[in-house]
Amino acid sequence: MNTRNVTMYLFWVTVCAAPCAANPNAMWTWVSGSSTNWQFGVYGTKGVAASGNVPGARSGSVSWIDIDAGGDLWLFGGFGYVAGGAYYLNDLWKYDGANWTWVSGSNGVDQYGVYGTKGVAASANMPGARYYSISWTDAGGNLWLFGGKGCAASGSADYLNDLWKFDGADWTWVSGAGFTNQYGIYGTRGIAASGNSPGARYGSISWIDGSGNLWLFGGSGYAASGIAAYLNDLWKFDGTNWTWVSGSNTTDQYGVYGTKGLADSGNVPGARAASVSWTDAGGNLWLFGGEGYPANGISGTLNDLWKFDGANWTWVSGSNATARYGVYGTKGVAAPGNVPGSRYGSVSWTDCGDNLVFFGGFGYAASTGSGALNDLWKFGIPDEAADMVEDGVIDELDLAELIDQWLGAPGEPSADLAPNPAGDNTVDFRDFAVLARMWLEAAGGS
């Protein structure tokens, strides 16, 4: 083998496959808003940006970034303060990097929605005040908004299942009901239909797949009948119709865990709300924790980690019971026995190395019952996994182990080092790239 070519390839994968690193120059900046709580909003003139404008204090809002417009931040609704009161909100704001603009909606609380004609955009249309909806943006830069808890076209605030689209100028009521507490219309599992619609709910999770479909899982609300409770139904929206994909059309269902690490068509997480979720580079959904049902027993806080590959669920880690304490190990050191405690209401994101990251929530730390949490966790394949022979160095012995598993299923120890967060059950050039990068870094060549 030409050693010069090998050296050049190792250099290439070091440059192209290296993960991001924390920049010591990165710092927090207080950009806008007040340094005290319970602040009312300053609305100014609708449609006019001004330095004095600012949304009121709130929680449970939805937000998105308009990349096509230069990265403007958009903010809708939530539960909090307007110009002179507090409760459910339906104000829409835009932040251009310097100033806030009140775009639409009301500067009052508990506003009813203006639905107009289903499928027809209109300047007068507006979703009702709400919080804990789900939202996503499509390839065209449109915002989509589903459900939550709040106000429909009339009546008192409660569970919602209306689906809306905002094109940057006007809202369109797309599907669902103009009233609260609507049951789901499930149709036939796996079959899209114009009449299908998830039941009213809040506290769900959602994500977008590589084809632009919306996926929706669980929450607290209404199934096909009965009272509002925890849900474990999985839905897909293709831009026109909803499809009931998996889970139950009844509430408070136990999870079917199967064998840890093995996908199966019978697996499904239990009914739950206030989980966190991610999507990885391969388009898989990852789901962690929440408040709901394990494999049996009563509902409670959960710490189970699941993966959905577009067809089947896999129970990846954590417990199939509730109220589990975390196993923290050593700070900064990945270990097979580490696992976060049961919790709900965390925040999550994916870092530039495709690790799954989440912070806080309400639940269980290492001991002493439940409470508000401030622990930060990361799930992924650690760099030290490249030391497959576990001799403290990364060298030709680890390369030999990888070659033995080349283009096959991973062995033990596993050479499935990529992609993050959990590999792809195949040993190929992506895994070699990780090994090569770590080898060069260990040798001082990074």
Neighbours of 261 (CB within 10 A): 11
Residue-range definition of the domain harbouring residue 368: 58-382
Q: Residue 83: beta bridge partners?
A: none
- Considering only CA atoms, give the Rg of the chain: 24
- Supply the pLDDT for residue 193: 98
Q: What is the pTM assigned to this prediction?
A: 0.89
Domain count, the chain: 2
Confidence of residue 21 (pLDDT cuts 50, 70, 90): low
Residue-by-residue DSSP string for 260-322: TT--BTT-BPPSEES-EEEE-TTS-EEEEEEEE--SSSS-EEEEEEEEE-SS-EEEEES-SSS
Single residue among 338, 365, 382 that ends a domain in this structure: 382
Mean pLDDT computed over 255-270: 97
As a whole number, mean pLDDT of residues 135-163 equals 94
Q: Is residue 77 part of a domain?
A: yes
**pLDDT value of position 19:** 53
Return the CATH number at 164: 2.120.10.80
4-18, 206-220, 410-424: lowest mean pLDDT where? 4-18
Of 2-6, 132-136, 291-295, the one with minimum mean pLDDT is 2-6
For residue 14, which phi and psi values (nearest 5 degrees)? Answer: -65, -45
Query: Could you tell me where the DSSP H helices lie in 213-272?
Result: none
Last residue of a domain, one of 382, 410, 431: 382
101 pLDDT more than 70: yes
φ, ψ for residue 194 (rounded to 5)? -65, -25
Cα angle for residues 37, 38, 43 (degrees, 5° grid): 115
The predicted structure's pLDDT at residue 217: 98
Q: Is the pLDDT of residue 3 over 50?
A: no
Same domain, 311 and 401: no
75 and 160 share one domain: yes
| Phi then psi dihedrals of residue 324, to 5 deg | -95, 135
Domain assignment present for residue 90? The answer is yes
Over residues 300-348, the pLDDT tens digits come to 999 999 999 999 999 999 999 999 999 999 999 999 999 999 999 999 9
Asked whether residue 13 carries a pLDDT value surpassing 50, the answer given is: no
C-beta of residue 117 within 8 angstroms of C-beta of residue 123: no
In a shared domain, residues 325 and 393? no
Question: Coil, helix or strand for 431?
Answer: helix
Give a yes or no: residue 52 inside a domain.
no
Q: Is the pLDDT of residue 434 over 60?
A: yes
Number of C-beta neighbours around residue 30 at 10 A:
7
pLDDT value of position 445: 58
- Answer yes or no: do 431 and 333 share one domain: no
Q: Flag whether pLDDT at 22 surpasses 70.
A: no
18 confidence band (pLDDT: 50, 70, 90): very low
Mean pLDDT of all residues in 406-423: 91
Residue 318 has what pLDDT? 98
Same domain, 196 and 226: yes
Together in a domain, 230 and 119:
yes
